[in-house]
Structure formats: structure tokens, C-alpha cells
Amino acid sequence: MPCQFCDIKQRTDHEHDTNKQHCPADASGATISIGIYAEQIGLPKPHEVLIRHEAIALNFVDLLFRNSSFPLRQLPAIIGVEAAGVIESVDSEVIGWAVGDRVGYYFSIEAYAEQRLIDPRQLVKLPDDINFDQAASLPAKRLTGRMLVKEASPFKLVILYSYMLLREPSDRL
């Protein structure tokens, strides 16, 4: 009988935290299962802000987390490394950030959530002419592109490719 919470078809001898629908057997190196569960975030600790995500990008490293090629420190884990949103709460020790600020970030694990706590040093303020989808999806692509351009000069051909965003939980690959 297959496990009801994960992709493991042959094992039924492992246990699950059914409140979080997470499979601890995932630590074995098997493809990790991805589930949706509720978790209380709480208020920001010193030097943190609370963000409400408006857009989350699918980054290639997320696929590496998913197939265990890029190890996570502990399971269960919230993956996702690129997102954009609005600050909902600011710790009193945080300077330069306010509730309502539009922000984005790159490579700070835990983006696959409606809300998250984050150190504001990892954030960038979004200009008004950048929407949340653009802000969430561009950082890694820009950085990757910049790192790959070795000898750019006028009149040299540069090829750019597209990306995909998953906006709704019902959007599946």
C-alpha cells in the first residue's frame, strides 16, 4: 500500500506528522514530497520583518531541493528562494523599512509560503514600475545572465530566454 502523504510507493513502515502532512522518510534521499500545511508565523523577532508574498518564482534550485540533489539542513522545510511581496509587520529595532513597503528578495530559502519572517538586509525595495511577478522572477535570471556574459561588447549577439511563474496552487507542471 502506498504512503498517503508522500511519493514512496513501496514503504509503509515510516510514520508521518499528520498535522503537517510531512514525511520524515524524505530524509533518506528519495524525492521529497511537497504538501500544503498551516503553520503559525508569529511576530517579527529582533531585526526581522514579516512579509506577505504576492508572487513566488520557481527557480531551478527548487527542483534540486525537490529531488534531494541540493541538501536541506532539516526536514520538514519550506523551499523556494525568490519572491516579492509587502511588509506587514516590522520589529522595533528595524530601521529604514515600514509596513506597506513593496519588497523582493533572492536566495533566501522559505519563499513557498503565504507569509514569512526575514532579515531586512536580504530585501530590496521595489520601484513602482516593477510589478510583483517581475520582481519575484528576475533576480536569479539576471544574476545568472550576468555571470555567463564574459565578453560583452557593442554589436555582439546576446540571447535571452523566457521563464514561467506558477501563480495558483492549481497550476501544475
Going from the N-terminus, what domains does the chain have, and what CATH number goes with each? 45-148 (3.90.180.10)
Q: What is the mean pLDDT of the chain?
A: 75
CB 53 within 8 A of CB 111: yes
Burial class of residue 27 in the structure, from the number of CB atoms within 10 Å of its CB (0-12 exposed, 13-18 middle, 19+ buried): middle
Name 82's bridge partners: 106
Looking at residue 43, its pLDDT comes to 92
CB 163 within 8 A of CB 144: no
Phi-psi category of residue 107: left, alpha or beta, with phi > 0 → left and psi -120 to 50 → alpha:
left
CB 84 within 8 A of CB 122: no
What is the rounded (10 degree) CA torsion for 69, 70, 73, 75? -50
pLDDT digits (tens, 9 = 90+) for 123-172: 999 999 999 998 898 766 666 666 666 676 777 776 666 555 555 544 44
The better pLDDT of the pair 94, 76 is held by 94
Indicate if the pLDDT at residue 108 is higher than 60. Answer: yes
Whether omega for the bond prior to residue 76 falls within 30 degrees of 0, making it cis, is: yes
Mean pLDDT of 36-48: 88
Looking at residue 39, its pLDDT comes to 83
Strands 123-125 and 115-118, bridge-based pairing? unpaired
